[in-house]
Structure 1
């Protein structure tokens, strides 16, 4: 109760954060995430086949606008959620942030939780539309050089569609079960996306960002997956404590997904940033 009171005192909700509670709707229709993810995968396959013999379109303007809007959204959400999670962490400790549900009913947390879930659907659209249009898109939803997946006739690799489709389903499942540990998932994801979509905006506008920025964002992605796996382990350890709200299904799937994400992102980091340097060094010798 003290933690909840502290959060409510320090973080007064803005008017837009007091909008209608959408939890009943998303809880009832959470399983819709499965057909949405399936449609996403089908549209990618259809889009690749459709663009096979066609020239890509120039959609630089819409891409700048789209990335800019998602960057602003992620920055605002990250500021609000990091403030709240930091307050809960400092006031009640780490266990309070992953086990106990009292802060989840805060108006600000409720608002950013359902908006975050909705953004996962929007991000799928962001990935499908450029693919159907045959325009350049960022490989893996990760930083790095712009990858002309369609124009260069390169297939989408496993982590790209696996990451996006499973994140939507996992977010819907966690939201339905009102698991407190999901607060860290939302907070970390918004924080990384705030930097990542800013980078996307700069790249789309042909503004040259710092060379180390892509590697930094990928490193933050890997760190996010590592911390997520640790949170899952801690939740499992503390699950027997009185009042610890979690489910074995959520613990199982969160750990599996975080570990697979960690392995896949770490592999991408090695292939993109480490292996080329090793090859260049070997060649020079």
Structure 2
């Protein structure tokens, strides 16, 4: 199915010159190569195990300067992505049936949003390198970490070709949280003692992100069930709901173990 994406002159998101790209060509390429995301994910998991074996009898690397530059770069990228994608949602929410349009309609989609959606898909490949710092510094690698990286990579590549309207929400939320999260990691890499409350806030925002992701997908199911038009593919809704629900459970469990359970132990 060929998706027609037209730039709306009245939109708040006027594309910059370097954001104007051949959208149909990018969709065609993704349709033909989206299985690359599975290859990247498999290689990622294999390299994790190989790296952990390599580091088993070695001293951990510090990598403070490199870690700082990496996190600063991703923070700047994520903040820029949020500033370029959120205005589209903001505009729609000021209109009648704004939330419904933001979830189910391609109205007001722009080439700028499409461009940052493509960048998001490729950035998920780059973000796999986050784990290299965990392995090389011999830090604990939890299931949530690598599961989140692989599943988001697969989801962003899978949904890009349909230009899912709900990606407005998924993109903006992800860019927003990552902007804060990577800035936090950059500060920690410098040795700055960041208050524990900041990490609590970040994890709380991540949980709210997952709740919103579940809400958007459940809303899509409900309106389709009552016969209201919603320009989303069944598979996109099903995969999105499964993914965000699993994140909500996993991040909630992480929050409990990291902040609530540990705090109760200290009080004993």
- TM-score, shorter chain, exceeding 0.5: yes
Alignment of 1:71-110 (within 5 A): 71-92=75-96, 93-104=98-109, 106-110=110-114
Shift in Å, 1:5: 7.8
User: Structure 2 CA distance, aligned partners of 1:84 and 1:204?
Assistant: 34
Aligned pairs (5 A) from 1:1-285: 8-21=10-23, 22-92=26-96, 93-104=98-109, 106-127=110-131, 129-131=132-134, 134-135=136-137, 148-149=138-139, 154=140, 156-239=141-224, 241=227, 243-281=229-267, 283=268
Q: Deviations over 1:25-51 (max 9, x none)?
A: 223211211111111111101100111
Contact kept in structure 1, 2:78 and 2:179, CA below 8 Å: yes
Matched residue SS, 1:91:
coil
Q: Which residue of structure 1 lines up, in the alignment, with residue 3 of structure 2?
A: none
**TM-score, length of structure 2 as denominator length:** 0.90
TM-score, scaled to structure 1 = 0.85
Q: Contact 1:7–1:87 at 8 Å: present in 2 too?
A: no
* Unaligned stretches of 5+ residues in structure 2: 1-5
Aligned counterparts of 1:242 and 1:10: Cα–Cα separation in 2: 27
CA shift for structure 1 position 242:
5.8
**Superimposed CA distance per residue, residues 41-67 of structure 1 (whole angstroms, 9 cap, x where no aligned partner):** 111011001110111223211111111
State how many pairs are aligned.
259
Could you tell me how far apart the structure 2 residues matched to 1:81 and 1:189 are? 11
RMSD (Å) for aligned C-alpha atoms: 1.9
Partners of 1:276 and 1:159 in 2: CA distance = 18
The whole-number CA distance in structure 2 between the counterparts of 1:7 and 1:258 is 34
Distance in 2 between residues matched to 1:91 and 1:7, nearest whole Å: 17
Unaligned runs of 5+ in 1: 136-147
Q: Distance in 2 between matches of 1:185 and 1:173?
A: 13
Contact 1:75 1:191 in 2 (8 A): yes
